[in-house]
Copies of this chain bind each other. A is one copy, B any other.
Amino acid sequence: MKVTPLTSPSNPLLKHIRGLQQRSFRDKSRQFLIEGPKVIAEALSAGIEIKDVVISQSYWQSGTIAHELNFNRLSLVEDKLFAELITTESSCGVLAVAHQPAENESSLFASSPALVVIAENIQDPGNLGTIIRTSLAAEASGIILTKGTVDPYNPKVVRSAAGALFKLPLITGLTIDESIKLVKNHQLQVLACCQGASQLYWDANLKLPTALVFGNEGQGFKAETRELCDGEIAIPMSAKSESLNVAMATGIILFAAVQQRRPENQS
């Protein structure tokens, strides 16, 4: 293994990494950052192509470098310089530059009956990460992130999705109208999940091929979006409670689908 110490903040690789903290540069280069040994190992095992790995001095000295990260080529930087490369916890000690995997629309519908999550205009990276992680756990077939939604390759999303980002089919760049059209073309029912809908989620038939639409944390959906959907479902809540977190709402409804689809319910 070759370890190259990088000492100048203006080193091209370090400049490239700092650039990847910005969405515009991630979109242009189709690369992204993965922070922490655990998520990097998940990426590798999912076949994500890693371009470069940078480790901090103290991580290197600790001797705990994970077997999975035994690359031919590592770059080593001082802790202070490393902290500038990282957007979550600088203590993680290891950072990878990776290529964004290609998107493939048909992969969204590969499992049957399909269960697709449409994340419309979700803003909080932690929420999106949790939605991705939970969608994988609930065996959703895939997730569509509409144009207004936070970038799934934002380092905070990558971290909070905890590896699920690399295993769940994912499409970006469509508007909400295009997203709904796409899933309808594949014969999915489209249900908008929103407070105040008259149908409760457990009364919907989630055994059917289904797309669940979850909206922005504060604003929910536009009326026009709701009209494009086949129906609306709500989670009933205590009158004392103002709202549920959108990631939590996603998990509750996805697992209601898991429950409805359990083997002993198939006939």
Contact = CB atoms under 8 A, between A and B. Distances in A.
Given A248-B247, A259-B202, A242 B138 contact: no
Contact of A130 (B139, B248, B258): B248
A137 interface: yes
Contacts of A241: 133, 136-137, 164, 167
A185 interface: no
A92 interface: no
- Protomer copies: 2
Interface residues of A, number: 33
A167 B240 CA distance: 7
Interface in A229-261: 235-238, 240-245, 247-248, 251-252, 255-256, 258-259
Contacts of A155: none
Interface string A155-178: 000000011100100000000000
B258 A259 contact: no
Contact of A245 (B130, B139, B202, B258): B130
A134 interface: yes
A241 B254 CA distance: 14
Interface in A108-166: 126, 130, 133-134, 136-139, 162-164
B164 A133 contact: no
A136 B240 contact: yes
A244 B167 contact: no
Contacts of A126: 126
Given A130-B245, A242-B163, A245-B130, A237 B137 contact: yes
A245 B248 CA distance: 10
With a 10 A CB-CB cut-off, give which of A133, A137, A235, A237 has the most chain B CB atoms: A137
A262 B200 CA distance: 11
Contact of A252 (B136, B243, B251): B251
B139 A238 contact: yes
Nearest to A140: B238
A236 B248 contact: no
A164 B243 CA distance: 10
The winner among A136, A164, A259 for most chain B CB atoms within 10 A is A259
Interface of A: 126, 130, 133-134, 136-139, 162-164, 167, 200, 202, 235-238, 240-245, 247-248, 251-252, 255-256, 258-259, 262
| Pairs of residues from A and B, 5 with the lowest C-beta to C-beta distance, nearest first | A137-B241, A139-B238, A137-B237, A248-B251, A252-B255
